Amino acid sequence: MYSKLKSYIQNVKGQAAEIVESRKVQLTNIADYIREKDEAKLTFICTHNSRRSHFCQIWSAVMADYLGLDNVKTYSGGTEATAFNRRAVEAIQRAGLKVKNPGGENPRYAVHFDDQDEPLICYSKLFDDSSNPQERFAAVMTCTDADENCPFVPGAEKRFSIPYIDPKESDGTPQEAETYDRRCKQIASEMYYLMCHV
């Protein structure tokens, strides 16, 4: 794992202690699900699969790897497809991940956290895209809109809701990078807490 990324994780460990109790309960419920599975598949879902669901997919994979959890597989999708937002991509790069962008309207970013492992391929897609599991997975709703507009996720054996405020609200403002970094760090700390309880 890259040294800059390891330093970032060391930093978010302290922030995990600040998670409110009600949130810890939600995260622990997901950890309980993972613990019961030989292979736990988590599909993180938000409206556009452009920001929060990708943050969750990436950080849950990073933290599972960091803690040596080999049975966790992470995915993401949306109720609509757009593109993995460049501001979110820039936030994970600032955190220490390496990202290769092949270009295009909806690029398939290769997200690396270690030169030895295969990268995560991250792009915007529907939650039921063929690249995502079709059965025996947990649907983890990361925004209120997706949670309300998608009451049934076909193939999901469990459903969890851990909504995050959309950093999109800061787009085009002087606070843009700071807002994305804050949301990125919040999700990283919560995925660390979650994986610590598996």
| Token digits of residue 141 | 């709703």
The domain segmentation of the chain, as residue ranges, is 3-196
- Determine whether 9 is exposed, middle or buried from the number of CB atoms within 10 Å of its CB (0-12, 13-18, 19+): buried
pLDDT at residue 17, rounded to an integer? 85
Topology of domain 3-196 in CATH is: Rossmann fold (3.40.50)
- Give the pLDDT mean for 23-35: 97
b/e map of 78-110 (b: 16 or more CB within 10 Å)?
bbbbebbbebbbbbbeebbbbbeeeeeeebbbe
Q: What is the pLDDT of residues 143-186, one digit of tens each?
A: 877 667 666 799 999 999 999 999 999 999 999 999 999 999 99
